[in-house]
Each structure stands twice: as C-alpha cells, then as structure tokens.
C-alpha cells in the first residue's frame, strides 16, 4: 500500500472524520512508529508503519464485508427519499465507509444480503459468468408442480430472454427451494408468473457456499469471517 495522509487513513475506517483527526493530532494522540504526528497531512504506509491512537494500535481494514439478515420493508439501496434502506441497518461505527448492497432483494424479500465497499467482490458474486449460486425458499399461492420443475431446469423464457437453468426442489405443497446462477429484476417472481403462480413469500438462504446463519436475527448485521468470505465466492 502506498503512503497516504494520516487523516485519510483514519477517516477511511468510517469511525472518525478528517476534522476529528485534526483535533486528535493537535492533542498529540496519534503516533507513527513511536513519533508523535504533528500534522494531519503527514503520510504513513499502513502495511509498514505502526499507527497508534491513544497508545493503541489503529487497525486498518482495507475492505469491509457484512452479512445482513434483511427484513421485509427495506429497499436494497444506499439512499431513498421515502423508504427505509438496508444501509440503515449497518452499525453506526461503519456508516462513514462507502458500503453498498452487493445485489438487490425486493422490498418484500427477506434473507441473506451482502454489504461491502469492495466493488470487485460485488462483481464476482453477481456476474452470471462467475456462476455463483443463490438459493431461495419460496412460498406460492398455488401448488408447486413438476411442470414448473422441468421448465426451470430447461430455462424459463422471460420477456428479457431465456433464463439460465435453475434448480427447483419441491419442499411442500406450496413451498419450494430455487437455486439461481444469475440475478435479474424480480426473476423468481417472474419465473413463477409464467406458470400462473404468485410468490407470497421469498427468502434467500444462501449465496455461493455461504448460508444465512441461524443465529443472525432479522435486521441484524455482522462482519464476515475470512472463512465465510471464502465460502461466499464459491461457485455453484
């Protein structure tokens, strides 16, 4: 990593603003390799230099990866004038980072969502070329049929083209699990719509090899572990 201004490094973590850093510098609260920082414009290299704030190591995370158990009623956007966004569920300490949802779930869809400031990861898990699977639990207003199952496996024709083959596992009379390897607008609702079925409940349980943990309650958000990040990027 290159040399960067100390105020930029500290502010990049979302907890403090650049003017906060100036205040800290004035109070001699920051050191780099044991020397007190005297100007917020002083530069440091986070890979080589030890930055201490109030005598404690200031840990710099270059990228942030969060999993969210999305509840109903939130839109998958960073801001919206009228509606609540999933960003409102991110812990306050991370709000200063440029986090965005990696992919969309409809306002009435619940389940696993990834929020990150890493555009490359977002591309890697969303691009149809990468074949990262997404698994959904679905409840319909009418019984699930073998005709739907066969049609999904062959590729449902929507008005914006034929879908990639999708796996439909029948779980109950009106419930199923669907595995997609792409993500088009309202895709599952439109696929079932081709069979005259309405989706009454949609819940995402997995992306790649990462499953929504049972102990992550609706509305809760936490950082991914290194192992979970690896699982997320696994191809389907």
Query: Left (φ > 0), alpha (ψ -120 to 50) or beta: where does 33 sit?
Result: left
Q: Is-catalytic flag, 47?
A: no
Annotated catalytic residue within 47, 106, 141, 165: 106
CA distance 74 to 84: 5
**Where in 77-136 is the site for ligand URA (CB under 6 A)?**
105-106, 109
188 in contact with ligand URA (CB under 6 A):
yes
CB-based contact 127:208 (threshold 8 Å): no
Kindly state the smallest distance separating residue 106's Cβ from ligand URA, in Å: 4
167 in contact with ligand URA (CB under 6 A):
no
Considering only residues 5, 189, 231, 234, which one is a binding residue for ligand URA as defined by CB under 6 A? 189
CB nearer ligand URA, residue 109 or residue 133: 109
Stretch that binds ligand URA, among 28-36, 146-154, 185-193, 210-218 (CB under 6 A): 185-193
Residue 157, classed as helix, strand or coil, is strand
Kindly state the smallest distance separating residue 101's Cβ from ligand URA, in Å: 11
CA distance 100 to 115: 5
Residue 6, classed as helix, strand or coil, is helix
CB nearer ligand URA, residue 109 or residue 116: 109
Kindly state the smallest distance separating residue 3's Cβ from ligand URA, in Å: 43
Cα four-point dihedral sign 34, 40, 42, 47: positive
202 in contact with ligand URA (CB under 6 A):
yes
Q: List the one residue out of 39, 41, 38, 101 whose CA is nearest residue 74.
A: 101
Kindly state the smallest distance separating residue 224's Cβ from ligand URA, in Å: 21
CB-based contact 62:119 (threshold 8 Å): no
CA distance 43 to 140: 58
Report, as residue numbers or ranges, the catalytic residues. 106
Q: Which residues bind ligand URA (CB under 6 A)?
A: 105-106, 109, 186-189, 202
């Amino acid at each position: 990593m290159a040399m960067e201004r100390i105020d930029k490094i500290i502010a990049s973590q979302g907890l403090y603003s650049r003017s906060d850093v100036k205040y800290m510098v004035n109070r001699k609260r920051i050191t780099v390799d044991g020397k007190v920082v005297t100007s917020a414009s002083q530069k440091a290299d986070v890979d080589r230099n030890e930055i201490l704030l109030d005598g404690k190591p200031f840990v710099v995370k270059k990228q942030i990866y969060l999993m969210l158990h999305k509840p109903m009623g939130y839109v998958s956007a960073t801001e919206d004038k009228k509606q609540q966004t999933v960003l409102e569920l991110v812990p306050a300490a991370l709000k200063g980072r440029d986090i965005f949802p990696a992919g969309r779930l409809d306002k009435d869809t619940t389940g696993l969502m990834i929020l990150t400031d890493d555009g490359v990861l977002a591309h890697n898990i969303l691009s149809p070329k990468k074949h990262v699977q997404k698994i959904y639990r679905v409840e319909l207003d009418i019984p699930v049929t073998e005709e739907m199952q066969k049609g999904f496996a062959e590729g449902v024709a929507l008005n914006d083209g034929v879908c990639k083959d999708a796996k439909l596992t029948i779980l109950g009379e009106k419930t199923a699990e669907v595995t997609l390897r792409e993500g088009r607008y309202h895709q599952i609702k439109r696929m079932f719509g081709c069979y005259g079925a309405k989706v009454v409940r949609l819940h995402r349980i997995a992306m790649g090899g990462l499953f929504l943990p049972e102990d992550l309650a609706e509305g809760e958000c936490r950082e991914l572990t290194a192992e979970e990040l690896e699982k997320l990027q696994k191809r389907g």
